């Protein structure tokens, strides 16, 4: 009695093994079926591999595009942050008293270093959209308000240092 074997559920490796072990002269119909299924599974495998490659390419392109459009600080934001910083610093400096003690070259150097430090921090946070906190970097996309407040504080400190320095050394 010759029972029908369902080769369609076999894996590609199983089909190869069956094709090698079958008596080709005794079961020519089974050999045709096995060979046909091998060709079909190879084609299906190639199509699946092309789809996977295509999806990988789309994912890579999407990742590159996301990185390219992450953060760009607008001119309006830079002007607004600096205007807020100047206005707060000016208000603070109005209430400060003038130094009657003469300033030295060392004081002037400290003034320059502090001004430069705050300016570089401000430029860095405006350019990158990141602000360092005690818990690490805060990204503007994740925490807009805290980064904006940090930028305003840096702007305020820069202009306050600048105004107080000019007030002391002028």
Tens digit of each residue's pLDDT (9 = 90 or more) over 127-169: 777 776 667 777 777 777 777 888 888 888 888 777 777 777 6
Instruction: Find residue 131's DSSP bridge partners.
Output: 138
Rg (CA), the chain: 36
Q: Are residues 75 and 128 in the same domain?
A: yes
Kind of pairing, strands 130-133 and 136-139?
antiparallel
Asked if residue 30 is part of any domain, the answer here is yes
The predicted structure's pLDDT at residue 153: 82
**Model confidence, pTM:** 0.46
Show the domain range for 112: 71-169
Q: How far apart are CA 165 and CA 108, in angstroms?
A: 8
Count up the domains in the chain and report the number. 2
User: Nearest 5 degrees, angle CA 153-CA 157-CA 159?
Assistant: 115
Structure tokens at 170: 């002028």
Q: Are residues 59 and 76 in the same domain?
A: no
Q: Are residues 34 and 104 in the same domain?
A: no
The predicted structure's pLDDT at residue 130: 76
Q: How far apart are CA 142 and CA 135, in angstroms?
A: 14
Query: Which segments in the chain show pLDDT lower than 70?
Result: 1-2, 61-73, 92-103, 132-134, 169-170
Domain boundary among 67, 84, 107: 67
């Amino acid at each position: 009695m010759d029972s029908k074997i369902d080769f369609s559920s076999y894996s590609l490796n199983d089909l190869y093994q069956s094709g090698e072990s079958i008596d080709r002269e005794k079961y020519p119909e089974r050999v045709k079926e096995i060979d046909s299924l091998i060709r079909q599974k190879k084609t299906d495998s190639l199509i699946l591999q092309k789809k996977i490659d295509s999806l990988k390419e789309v994912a890579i392109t999407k990742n590159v595009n996301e990185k390219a459009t992450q953060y760009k600080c607008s001119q309006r934001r830079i002007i607004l942050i600096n205007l807020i910083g100047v206005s707060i610093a000016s208000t603070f400096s109005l209430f400060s008293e003038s130094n009657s003690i003469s300033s030295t070259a060392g004081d002037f150097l400290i003034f320059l270093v502090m001004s430069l430090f705050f300016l570089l921090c401000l430029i860095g946070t405006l350019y990158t959209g990141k602000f360092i906190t005690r818990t690490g970097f805060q990204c503007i996309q994740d925490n807009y308000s805290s980064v904006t407040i940090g930028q305003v504080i840096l702007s305020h400190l820069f202009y306050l240092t600048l105004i107080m320095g000019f007030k002391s050394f002028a």
